[in-house]
Amino acid sequence: MLYIIYGLTSVVGKVSRQYFMGRGIKQIEKITFETENVRVQPSDGILRRAKSEKEVRACDYVYENHGRLVGFTMTQIEEAISGRQDAFLTFSSYDLSFLREIKDACGEHVAIIYAFLEDEALKRLTDAIDTDDGQKRERLLMGRAIKERYLAERELFDETVIYCGEDTQFDLESLKGQYAHIIQKYKGLEKEPVPLPYKGNKPYIFVSYARDDSDRVIPYLRILQKRGCRIWYDKGIKAGDNWMTTLAMKIKGCAQYLLFSSEISTKSVWTRREASRALQYPELSILTVRMDNARFDEGLEWGLQEYQQLFMNDPDFESDLLESISDEVIERIGD
């Protein structure tokens, strides 16, 4: 499970991070590079400073946050989504495109939490920070702007926690209780994770299948991802993207093309187009999984027969599939 907490600041952020880590939930490590226009000094929610802007740009997810570039890797997100390690991420950018992307890809495996700080409580927290008046004004403006972003995009958020100050019922102890309730709630709701499409520059597998075959295909994508395979499939297409352009680009850039052939996919215009495109690249490793006895048209089959094929009804199919995956698309510890 991945918990994303939006809008934290000051001691409320520190207490929140300590609470989640105390529950055995890992913090997503972020790296940052400060530009010349830094407006607010970072909190310890950002764990490591990059030596260069290029180092941050190499991350899978990059966003701008008040004059800083912040980045983190896809591997950490995949570990949480796949169920290997629950994790949390603190987030305070005005740009919410990452939240939309992660929710579209695997909504039921991520809880997006808005941390509401009452205005007077925010002012007291800001006044207590040992910094100049300019920084304090900037933090107040930032807090109000984040609140406006939340109000404008409330449908993105699953939960809200409230902090109103230590002299109110909604104090830090109450905040911990609210987090405890949310964690317990999502522990009970967790389902089999949906594989998160790879986003990065390392070698990956392009998976081609028919949407109506999802119930049979997705379990094998989970297996591949749990083994560390970087996979991309159509869940990685964002709203508003040009499908044809995106698919062509992803096929061209992949290191291995994995085709699930079935009675449904052999009749699918999209699957046939994808397979035809893949066959245009002679150096591309192509692996076809036969889900039944259906076949594509003669031209496509003539091209596919030059490459390896597996049969889903074989008793050793799962192990054969794993053995057939190219080493270069597998994420190794330390990569």
Say if residue 138 is in the same domain as residue 35. yes
Residues 6+ apart with CB under 8 A from 324: 287, 308, 310
Say if residue 171 is in the same domain as residue 278. no
Has residue 197 been placed in a domain? no
Give how many domains the chain has, as a whole number: 2
Q: How far is it, in rounded angstroms, from Cα 253 to Cα 318?
A: 26
Q: What CATH number has the domain bearing residue 211?
A: 3.40.50.10140
Q: 159, 189, 219: which is the final residue of a domain? A: 189
Q: What is the pLDDT of residue 131?
A: 67
Q: 314 φ, ψ to 5°?
A: -70, 140
Q: What is the pLDDT of residue 141?
A: 81
Q: What is the pLDDT of residue 44?
A: 47
Q: What is the pLDDT of residue 225?
A: 85
Question: In terms of residues, how long is the chain?
Answer: 335
Q: What CATH number has the domain bearing residue 65?
A: 3.40.50.300
Which regions of the chain are under pLDDT 50?
A: 38-40, 44, 333-335
Residues 6+ apart with CB under 8 A from 277: 247, 248, 251, 252
Q: What is the pLDDT of residue 333?
A: 43
Say if residue 142 is in the same domain as residue 214. no
Q: 189, 219, 254: which is the final residue of a domain? A: 189
Q: What is the pLDDT of residue 107?
A: 66
Say if residue 273 is in the same domain as residue 166. no
Q: How far is it, in rounded angstroms, from Cα 154 to Cα 79?
A: 27
> Which domain, by its residues, includes 209?
205-329
Say if residue 133 is in the same domain as residue 262. no
Q: What is the pLDDT of residues 200-254, one digit of tens each?
A: 788 999 999 999 999 999 999 988 988 889 999 988 776 667 888 999 999 999 9
Q: 156, 189, 222: which is the final residue of a domain? A: 189
